[in-house]
Amino acid sequence: MPAIALLAALLAIGFEQLIEWRYGTIGVIGLFLLAVGVKAKNPTCAGIGAAVLAVQVAGPSA
């Protein structure tokens, strides 16, 4: 059991670092809002987080 928890924690930290490296601090904030919204069953918070991530992923249209 501790090995699975450790692996899950490492995976979560790695994913967060990937988001921060790729999309910056705003991407981490969007991911945080999305996670908190889903965990708290708050559609407003989750929607704002999803919108922030969508804007970051879409990026500037050049």
Question: Mind listing the pLDDT tens digit for each residue in 9-53?
Answer: 899 888 888 878 887 888 889 989 999 999 999 999 999 999 998
Confidence of residue 62 (pLDDT cuts 50, 70, 90): very low
Distance CA 38, CA 47 (A): 9
Distance CA 43, CA 47 (A): 6
More confident residue, 1 or 33: 33
Residues 51/31, Cβ–Cβ less than 8 Å: no
SS3 content of the chain, % helix, strand, coil (to 5): 85, 0, 15
Domains of the chain, residue spans: 2-58
* Residue 60 pLDDT greater than 80, yes or no: no
**Full-model pTM:** 0.70
Q: What is the dihedral of CA 55, 57, 61, 62, to 10 degrees?
A: 140
pLDDT at position 50 is 93
